[in-house]
Amino acid sequence: MTRTPAAAPRASLSRAKAVWRTLRRLPPTARIGALILLFWAITVLTVHLWPIADPLAMVGRRLQPPSPDHWLGTDALGRDVFARTLRGAVWSIPIATVVVACAVALGSVLGALSGFYGGWTDSIVMRLVDVTLAFPPILLAMAVAAMLGPGLANASIAMVIVWWPIYARLMRAQVLEVREREHVEAAVAGGARGLRVLRVHILPLCWTPTLINATMDFGQVILLAASLSFIGLGATPPAPEWGSMISEGATRFYEWWIAFGPGMAILSVVLATSFLGDGLRDLFDRRSG
């Protein structure tokens, strides 16, 4: 069975409709998760227009507890914690997005090639995966980030190095499974060769587990990024990155509010991604769960 090119757009349109119909059956918790993520996405795009204080300017007295003027108080330099927390999203969310995207891209390509070609390619990629996964994630990230030098870019590279093997494994398993299906054999019998088989006939059917996992990992990446900043290997002051904000509050036990805002922000993102990820997995991935 071959599909004519003209039928393809219509098929993908009806597929999009089917996906939308399935999405509408998401449980309430997953919808809440999606709403929280939407809120943060809008914040990232528009927060510079919001009528909130300048996150880098000294706008009040130092170390003031929450008040009507400063909802989450002020930090050691008299900056508004509420404004800094919202502005922090502009750092944390894009970083996590980039890290997850790069890890998915790198891991999926290597995993797909590994599953498709087998043999030496497979052995090399999978041994790399094994070795990478033999490190406790935070220690590997710390080592890489420290060797490359502090800074957000290097911390991001370190996180991609930590995360890609998971996607390589996922994609390899998917490709191995889809490769055995009838339509692939039919395509090969019909003369399709090499990477074209992988790209056209196999990969389009392999993305579901990867996307579900990426949703869940987004929150975990936010956590690890904040951890690295907290340690001093990520964002550098005065950037209002959530992890480094908590780090600034860490030595001031009596002024709990300095760390409260960024902590709640991280919690909201991590909870939202696990709610949404759970819901998506229940809907699309019948094998697990």
Partner 1 sequence: MLAYILRRLIMIPFLLLGVASVSFLLSQMTKGDPLAALVPERMMSNPDIVNAVKAQWGLDQPLPVRYVIYLGNLVQGDLGTSFSTRRPVATDIAERLPATLELVVAAMIIGTVMGLALGLLSARFRGTLFDSVARIFALIGSSLPIFWSGLILLYLFSVRISFVPGTGRLPPRVTAPPDVTGFYTVDALIAGNIPLFLQALSHLALPAFVLGWAVTGVITRLVRSSLIEGLSLDYARTARAKGAPERTVLVKHALPNAMIPLLTILGFTFAYLITGAVLTEAIFSWPGIGSYAVRAAASLDYPAIGGVTIVGSVAFLLANLLTDIAYAWANPRIKVH
Residues forming contacts to partner 1 in the complex (CB under 8 A) are 127, 130-132, 134-140, 142-150, 219, 223-224, 226-227, 230-233, 243, 246-247, 249-250, 253-254, 256, 259-260, 262-263, 266-267, 270-271, 274
Nearer of residues 52 and 148 to partner 1, judged by Cβ: 148
CA–CA dist 199, 108 (Å, integer): 12
Q: Which is nearer to partner 1, 167 or 230 (CB)?
A: 230
Which residues, at least 6 apart from 6, have a Cβ–Cβ distance to it below 8 Å?
A: none
CA distances to 59, 66, 108, 198, 256 from 252, rounded to whole Å, are 20, 15, 43, 55, 7
CB of 143 to partner 1, least distance (A): 5
The distance of closest approach from Cβ of residue 226 to partner 1 in the complex, given in angstroms and rounded to an integer, is 5
Q: Dihedral through CA 228, CA 233, CA 234, CA 235, nearest 10?
A: 130
* Distance of closest approach, residue 50 Cβ to partner 1, in angstroms: 24
What distance in Å separates the CA atoms of residue 105 and residue 195, rounded to the nearest whole number?
17
Kindly give the residue spans of alpha helices, DSSP state H, lying in 24-55.
28-46
Beta bridge partner(s), residue 74: 80
Q: How far is the CB of 104 from partner 1 (least distance, A)?
A: 20
Minimum Å gap between C-beta 203 and partner 1 is 28
CB of 17 to partner 1, least distance (A): 32
Minimum CB distance to partner 1 smaller for 210 or for 247: 247
Least distance (Å) from partner 1 to the CB of residue 45?
24
Q: Which is nearer to partner 1, 116 or 163 (CB)?
A: 163
Q: Of 41, 75, 83, 45, which Cα lies nearest the Cα of 218?
A: 41
Provide CB contacts within 8 A for 239, sequence distance 6+: 91, 152
Whichever of 118 and 136 has its CB closer to partner 1, that residue is: 136
d(CA 161, CA 235): 18
Q: Whole-angstrom Cα distance, residue 62 to residue 74?
A: 6
Which is nearer to partner 1, 137 or 209 (by Cβ)?
137
Nearer to partner 1, 156 or 274 (CB): 274
What is the spatial distance between Cα 209 and Cα 173, in angstroms, rounded to a whole number? 10
